[in-house]
């Protein structure tokens, strides 16, 4: 079996919301600028005792409960993130402990910027195949509010906190992927464990609108499908204008693109999972639907995966 089936998804976001108007009280910005340039209205930030491990654990808990599997059968846990609570131990190890999963498993974190969830899917599939695993657990989780310089308006309005998870099993079904890395250190980076995100916004924008359509084309072709046969395009939620530009380039209606950037901002490695969970929870995804997930980010990294629901 070389495919992956998603049995269930879950998500968890911090209670505290931060509106564009809230940010306009901290830096020189406005609701109008943020909405017009990004499509974002609110994002969630951790407060009080909330942390990365909590978000990741709660999202995973929901996915496991919804999947109705025996958690003892989970054999691999991957957390995709660039903002875990600790430099070490990994978030995946803490999730294993919090959920009381069995001990003879692999649990590790993967950092690929906003492409994290796609890199995570590719990695967990390979590990599950190698280990002949019954079930795998993938989580995308970020607490980017701790990684932002709240005096830098070019980044502090963009990112949010949240987590999404999925329980996976190997299947004979559809799975194709396109993954890439370009060895760039400058476009987007957090250079030290306690450092802040720096981003060349325009450079990232140009990179995304040039790269993503090619990656989508390659992934759809590899799957032996046409764009029309893809039911849902679930793209990294970095900027509504980027999503609209890509929809135009692949000549597909916006209705096929899941958009929730207005509610969460850019949640990096959690964003594709959050969008997937939202569409699934709303009953928009039907059995047999073809889903294309695609992301891009720091590294420079990119990736797309096509699966059947
Ligand atoms: N409020 C008001 N003005 C602002 C703000 C703000 N929050 N931020 C920047 N500006 C100003 C700039 O200073 C500039 O002013 P100037 O013309 O006087 O110099 C002006 O707005 C235009 O700035 P640009 O950077 O050209 O604005 P742009 O239209 O490119 O929008 C944005 C910026 C939203 C960051 C956009 O470039 C973008 O979305 N880029 C892609 C980001 C992305 O995709 N990230 C994903 C990967 S992230 C990861 O992997 C962790």
Q: How confident is the model at residue 252 (pLDDT cuts 50, 70, 90)?
A: very high
Note the pLDDT tens digit of each residue in 171-182. 999 999 999 999
Contact between 244 and 238 (Cβ < 8 Å): no
Note the pLDDT tens digit of each residue in 46-97. 999 999 999 999 999 999 999 999 999 999 999 999 999 999 999 999 999 9
**208 Cα–ligand 1 center, Å:** 14
Contact between 65 and 22 (Cβ < 8 Å): no
Query: Is the distance from the beta carbon of residue 23 to the nearest atom of ligand 1 less than 6 Å?
Result: no
Would you state the pLDDT for residue 96? 98
Q: 124: left (phi > 0), else alpha (psi -120 to 50), else beta?
A: alpha
Instruction: Tell me what percent of the residues of the chain surpass a pLDDT of 70.
Output: 100
Query: Is the distance from the beta carbon of residue 245 to the nearest atom of ligand 1 less than 6 Å?
Result: no
- Phi and psi, residue 308, nearest 5°: -110, 140
Query: Is the distance from the beta carbon of residue 204 to the nearest atom of ligand 1 less than 6 Å?
Result: yes
Return mean pLDDT, the chain. Answer: 97
Overall average pLDDT of the 297-309 stretch: 97
**142 Cα–ligand 1 center, Å:** 21
- Phi and psi, residue 259, nearest 5°: -130, 120
DSSP 116-147: HHHHHHHHHHHHHHHHT-SEEEEEEEEEGGGG
**Known catalytic membership, residue 236:** yes
Overall average pLDDT of the 265-270 stretch: 98
Would you state the pLDDT for residue 104? 97
Contact between 303 and 227 (Cβ < 8 Å): no
Query: Is the distance from the beta carbon of residue 208 to the nearest atom of ligand 1 less than 6 Å?
Result: yes
pLDDT of 194 > 90? The answer is: no
Q: How confident is the model at residue 237 (pLDDT cuts 50, 70, 90)?
A: very high
Would you state the pLDDT for residue 192? 87
Would you state the pLDDT for residue 110? 97
Query: Best substitution site from 18, 20, 37 to test ligand 1's pocket, by max atoms within 8 Å of Cβ?
Result: 37
State the CB neighbour count (10 A cutoff) for residue 166: 29
Instruction: State the Cα–Cα distance between residues 258 and 7, nearest whole angstrom.
Output: 19
Name the active-site residue from 51, 239, 266, 277.
266
CATH of domain 175-308: 3.40.47.10
Query: Is the distance from the beta carbon of residue 268 to the nearest atom of ligand 1 less than 6 Å?
Result: yes
Contact between 87 and 177 (Cβ < 8 Å): no
**154 Cα–ligand 1 center, Å:** 6
- Supply angle C-alpha 38, 21, 195, rounded to 5: 65
**Known catalytic membership, residue 198:** no
Region(s) of the chain under CATH 3.40.47.10: 3-171, 175-308
Fold of 3-171: Peroxisomal Thiolase; Chain A, domain 1 (3.40.47)
**Known catalytic membership, residue 93:** no
pLDDT of 193 > 90? The answer is: no
**301 Cα–ligand 1 center, Å:** 20
């Amino acid at each position: 079996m070389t495919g992956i089936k998603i049995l269930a998804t879950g998500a968890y976001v911090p209670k505290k919301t931060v509106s564009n108007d809230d940010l306009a009280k901290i830096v020189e910005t406005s609701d109008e600028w943020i909405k017009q340039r990004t499509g974002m209205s609110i994002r969630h930030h951790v407060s009080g005792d909330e942390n990365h491990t909590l978000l990741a654990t709660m999202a995973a808990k929901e996915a496991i409960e919804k999947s109705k599997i025996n958690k003892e059968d989970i054999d691999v846990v991957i957390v995709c993130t660039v903002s875990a609570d600790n430099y070490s131990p990994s978030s995946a190890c803490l999730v294993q402990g919090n959920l009381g999963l069995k001990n003879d498993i692999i649990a590790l974190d993967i950092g690929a910027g906003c492409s994290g969830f796609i890199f995570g899917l590719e990695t967990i599939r390979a590990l599950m195949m190698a280990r002949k695993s019954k079930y795998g657990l993938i989580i995308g989780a970020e607490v980017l509010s701790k990684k932002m310089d709240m005096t830098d308006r070019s980044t502090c309005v963009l990112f949010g906190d949240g987590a999404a998870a999925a329980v996976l099993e190997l299947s004979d079904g559809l799975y194709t992927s396109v993954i890439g890395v370009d060895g760039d250190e400058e476009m987007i980076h957090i250079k030290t464990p306690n450092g802040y995100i720096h981003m060349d916004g325009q450079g990232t924008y140009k990179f995304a609108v040039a790269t993503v359509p090619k990656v989508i084309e390659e992934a759809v072709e590899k799957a032996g499908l046409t764009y029309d046969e893809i039911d849902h395009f679930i793209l990294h939620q970095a900027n509504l204008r980027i999503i609209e530009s890509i929809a135009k380039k692949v000549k597909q209606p916006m209705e096929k693109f899941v958009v929730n950037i207005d509610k969460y901002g850019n949640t990096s490695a959690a964003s594709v999972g959050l969008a997937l969970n939202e569409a699934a929870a709303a009953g928009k995804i039907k059995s047999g639907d073809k889903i294309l997930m695609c992301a891009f980010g720091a590294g420079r990294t990119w990736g797309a995966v096509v699966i059947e629901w």
